[in-house]
Structure 1
């Protein structure tokens, strides 16, 4: 199940990064592209770390919790710094999914990572749509 978000998350990051070179027609569009690019780089790495940690949870259970906390911290920071309301909302939605994964882990349940991948995909749509 954790591998199911690895590819979409990577594709999402690539799509977000791809919009950076596009010339913006307004300051708002340029700011949105900058927000999205910065977000893509950090979140792509964090989601990959979460996926890897859950794939190896039997070897190092603490790594999953650490990876989730890093993702949450980065999302909090990016949400505070985002100047675009659509990007901020997508970050908030992604944070909600991180919280749900954390709740499952805290309850000693296997988390469903698909909604986390879906939320990352939604961030891509916000940035490219």
Structure 2
């Protein structure tokens, strides 16, 4: 009878430990998934910035490509912003948005945009997302 009580106590302790550990593992998996999603989106944003630069360099051949590349960048920024509650990511997105707005303003004024700060802001997002 004593052994049965011991097994039940051990089983109860094991179940209690699982109840405590499972929510923590779900949280850490969720955090890991968010980090992976952020990093993947940061890579996409870097690719978008490169495409914006390429499109502006080839604007004579395909003037619409620059606008399309800028729109893809905006879409990916919005995606990252919606999926992140991290303060540093939000600040990096805001900085990138400022640079996107400056590029758009230059284009609207028929000026050649300075893409250097845009690349730097995208780099900051990559830095924040990859920790």
TM-score between both structures, scaled by the size of structure 2 = 0.69
How big is the shift at 1:55? Answer: 1.1
* Structure 2 gap ranges (5+): 1-26
Residue 42 of structure 2 corresponds to residue 60 of structure 1: no
* Structure 1 gap ranges (5+): 1-25
| Residue 6 of structure 2: aligned partner | none
Structure of larger gyration radius: 2
| Residue 49 of structure 1: aligned partner | 51
| Residue 77 of structure 2: aligned partner | 75
CA distance in 1, matches of 2:125, 2:54: 21
How big is the shift at 1:32? Answer: 5.4
TM-score between both structures, scaled by the size of structure 1 = 0.70
| Residue 37 of structure 1: aligned partner | 39
1:1-129 alignment, distance < 5 Å: 27=28, 30=32, 33-129=35-131
- Structure with the bigger RCO (C-alpha within 8 Å, sep 6+) is 1
